[in-house]
Amino acid sequence: MNSWLIFILIIIGSGYFLELFVMSLNIKALSPVLPQEFADTFAGDEYQKSQNYTRATSKFGLIESTFSTAFILLFLLLGGFNQLDLLARSFGYESIITGLIYTAFFLLIFTTLSLPFSIYSTFIIEEKYGFNRTTIKTFITDLIKVIILSVVIGGPLLALVLWFFETCGPLAWLYCWVGVVLISVLLQLLAPVLIMPLFNKFTPLEEGSLKNKIEEYATREQFKIQGIFTMDGSKRSTKANAFFTGFGRFRKIVFFDNLMDKLSEEEIIAVLAHEMGHYKLHHIPKLLIASIIQTGILFFLLSLFIANEGLFAAFSMDHLSIYASLFFFGFLYTPINLLISILFNLFARKNEFQADKYAVSSTGGSQQLVNGLKKLSRTNLSNLTPHPLFVFLHYSHPPILERIKTLRRLKC
């Protein structure tokens, strides 16, 4: 058997069983006893409901992972990648267009296969636990918009990458790196203006006490903002959130509309202060730099496996191509991506603690942020007792109890 094939099968299998093991640990870690910290937050059977929600989403995730893993294995072992390549080549176009056709077919297959799971998650699980507000019309419209954006943005970007690797020789990975980074930064600048409004409606926060308090706080912290907006998050879910968007003087504060009903004005300011802490402590540019470095590493490693004959033989391919190399390299990159994601999550959790500390020092206390976090945990049916290994692998935020304990130790 091809050694590359053996290696890829090991990657797929170990990834699946690792996730199965960690998810099982996380389910077993659910404690039937409500943590004392939340005795004043969860009423009646709300805590049991949050545990049932974690079990339901975890088990459903395992079912979806089992199905997708089994399909990938069958698709690989039965020569599906090659058959798809032959179909794409049958149209008779040059290599870049053929690569776009190949990618489109591949994404169409896996989008179609994942669609039933997305429908079940949205309209059965999320509906059962009171989160879903997505209508069938909104679901279909969102799907169409995502497909259009993938074609309009993803298509030209992929074509650019293929063109660089076909024409620029050994330095192609460097040109890809620079090109993708520049386009990504441009998209981040344009997203709040052109992309996000395609999915949600942004409304300026109405005049009143909350807006005045936010503006006073931003002025006191010397934080310039272009505007304060609410977003119709309740259009799709009852889950609440808040975030900043934009760069420099174009920064905007955005609150989910359902957040306004769940938190007091002081608690909203505390949540805002936490988000502002990420900006003040330069977490955003640091994360951007780290992502840029990661992208460079990815393209350099990719360049080492372009049209690798042994790798193509593992996928039973009749023809070598740059576009298929991108897909095959994705399998090899999976372990590296896991390690990088663990590192990113480690720094992200550290940043959350730092942003919490900033919020406490800039608002004069920790209690309002604690109250806000507890209310959001109840609203979102958060898992209060996740397993440490699950946190280590997947959490970009510290567990809520750990955050609250740390907050209570902070002094203004």
Q: What is the set of domains in the chain, with CATH numbers?
A: 3-132+281-409 (no CATH), 202-262 (3.30.2010.10)
pLDDT surpasses 70 at 250: no
Task: Give the pLDDT confidence score for residue 410 in this predicted structure.
Answer: 83
**Mean pLDDT lowest among 129-143, 233-247, 308-322:** 233-247
What average pLDDT does this structure show over 255-266? 85
pLDDT surpasses 70 at 249: no
Q: Please name which of 391, 390, 396 lies closest in space to residue 23, comparing C-alpha atoms.
A: 390
Tens of pLDDT, residue by residue over 6-46, are 999 999 999 999 999 999 999 999 998 999 999 989 887 89
pLDDT surpasses 80 at 125: yes
pLDDT band at 242 (very low <50, low <70, confident <90, very high): confident
What average pLDDT does this structure show over 131-148? 94
The SS3 assignment for 94 reads coil
Q: Please name which of 301, 390, 402, 386 lies closest in space to residue 345, comparing C-alpha atoms.
A: 390
- From CA 259, how far away is CA 231, in angstroms rounded? 10
Task: Give the pLDDT confidence score for residue 229 in this predicted structure.
Answer: 87
Residue 206 or residue 303, greater confidence: 303
Share of the chain above pLDDT 90, in %: 72
Tens of pLDDT, residue by residue over 347-365, are 999 999 999 999 999 998 8
- From CA 354, how far away is CA 397, in angstroms rounded? 12
- From CA 323, how far away is CA 68, in angstroms rounded? 22
* Cβ(252)–Cβ(228) below 8 Å: yes
Residue 351 or residue 194, greater confidence: 351
Tens of pLDDT, residue by residue over 43-94, are 878 999 999 999 999 999 999 999 999 999 999 999 999 999 999 999 999 9
Task: Give the pLDDT confidence score for residue 163 in this predicted structure.
Answer: 97
pLDDT band at 397 (very low <50, low <70, confident <90, very high): very high
- The b/e string for 81-90 (b: 16+ C-beta within 10 A; e otherwise) is bbebbeebbe
Average pLDDT of the chain, as a whole number: 92
- From CA 222, how far away is CA 2, in angstroms rounded? 61
pLDDT surpasses 80 at 240: no
Task: Give the pLDDT confidence score for residue 259 in this predicted structure.
Answer: 81
The whole-model pTM stands at: 0.90
Q: Please name which of 333, 321, 331, 313 lies closest in space to residue 166, comparing C-alpha atoms.
A: 321
Task: Give the pLDDT confidence score for residue 274 in this predicted structure.
Answer: 93
pLDDT surpasses 90 at 188: no
Tens of pLDDT, residue by residue over 285-304, are 899 899 999 999 999 999 99
Q: Which residues are catalytic?
A: 275, 356
Q: Taking the CA atoms of 356, 361, 363 and 366 in sequence, report the sign of the dihedral they define.
A: positive
**Mean pLDDT lowest among 202-216, 250-264, 266-280:** 250-264
The SS3 assignment for 398 reads coil
Task: Give the pLDDT confidence score for residue 247 in this predicted structure.
Answer: 66
